[in-house]
Structure 1
Amino acid sequence: MNKVPMTHQGHAQLQEELRWRTQEERPRIIEAIAEARAHGDLSENAEYHAAKEAQGHNEGRISELEGLLSRADVINVSAMSGDIVKFGATVTLIDEDTEQEKVYQIVGDQEADVKAGKISISSPIARALIGKTIGDSVEVQAPGGARGYEIDDVKFV
């Protein structure tokens, strides 16, 4: 069984989603199914089929969340230190072409959100950064082509 690395924040978000899906969404869907059943003929009842599909999706996600949480390897990022990039690090990069600054935190696959500055440990940029230190240059093979970055800062917050 493979452990799934995640931060405390990512673990809490998954727990909250599981709670919402089991305690709020599941009862709502059951109510929708019961209401649709009351309308009669189920073979041509679009509301019933939509509710059953929603139920299948919700139950699938609940199983997925339970599996992820059971395999979670929660890493306390605030207890980490140093200037070597590793899981949980918040890395400040300088684009070597544009001199533009970018800040990313390396997190688990389930909590990645590029718009929020959180990149997956399995992403090309994170894989290029792991093990490097402040001042190192890295070349990242991205979908838009190769990009060069210099590591300006590494923090663990």
Structure 2
Amino acid sequence: MPEKIKARLAEEIKQLEYELTTELPAEIKKAVALGDLSENAEYHMAKQRQVFVNARLGQLKKRMGELAMVNLANIPHDKSGFGSSITVFDSSKNEEIRYKLVTSEESDVSKGLISTTSPIGRALLNKEVGDTVTVITPNGKRELEILKLYTIHDLDPDEVAETPEAK
């Protein structure tokens, strides 16, 4: 999983570096040729874009460094962590919900993909089957009891059924 994210981030870095080194200097040069820089909207927009691209590149490179330090072998085999699929009973909704703990880049609440940095994700980290956690979310307090847990090291029966080899 982290490899797909790294590839996507590397592609964005490549595009932004090209824009920063090739496209923006050309735009700035063209805007400078138009004359008076104090009232030159093209020049100011290109300079603002340059600042934004530099900041975004810094964020992406920092995130790449963080992902490079992820060692899947350090993820526990018996407790929830990155990559875990967790079925919980939500007493406030009186229903079972399935979550998968993922990176912030992959999170999609509508698909049950919860970031490990979200309130629910943080509450579920390092928990075992039978544990109950209380989560304070923007929608209020929720009690979640862990019913099933499949770590990144386990084969989740539901995911095996979805693979082409299982069909």
Q: TM-score, normalised by structure 2?
A: 0.71
* Shift in Å, 1:58: 0.3
* Shift in Å, 1:70: 3.0
- Alpha-carbon separation, structure 1, partners of 2:7 and 2:79: 26
Asked if structure 1 preserves the Cα contact closer than 8 Å seen for 2:75 and 2:81, the reply is: no
Change (3 A) 1:112 1:32: same
SS at match of 1:52: helix
- Alpha-carbon separation, structure 2, partners of 1:20 and 1:56: 15
Identity over aligned residues, as a percent? 36
CA RMSD of aligned residues (A): 2.8
Higher strand share goes to which structure?
A: 1
User: 5+ residue gaps in structure 1?
Assistant: 1-5
User: Which of 33, 44, 56 is residue 38 of structure 1 equivalent to?
Assistant: 33
Q: TM-score, normalised by structure 1?
A: 0.75
Deviates more, 1:127-136 or 1:49-58: 127-136
Alignment of 1:47-86 (within 5 A): 47-71=42-66, 72-76=68-72, 82-86=77-81
Deviation digits for residues 76-116 of structure 1 (CA, Å, limit 9, x no counterpart): 48x9684521122232333222234433332345x253445
Larger Rg: 2
User: Which of 118, 121, 124 is residue 119 of structure 2 equivalent to?
Assistant: 124
- Alpha-carbon separation, structure 1, partners of 2:85 and 2:34: 54
| AA partner of residue 48 (structure 1) | Y
User: 5+ residue gaps in structure 2?
Assistant: 156-167
- Alpha-carbon separation, structure 1, partners of 2:144 and 2:53: 41
Report the equivalent of 2:129: 134
SS at match of 2:38: coil
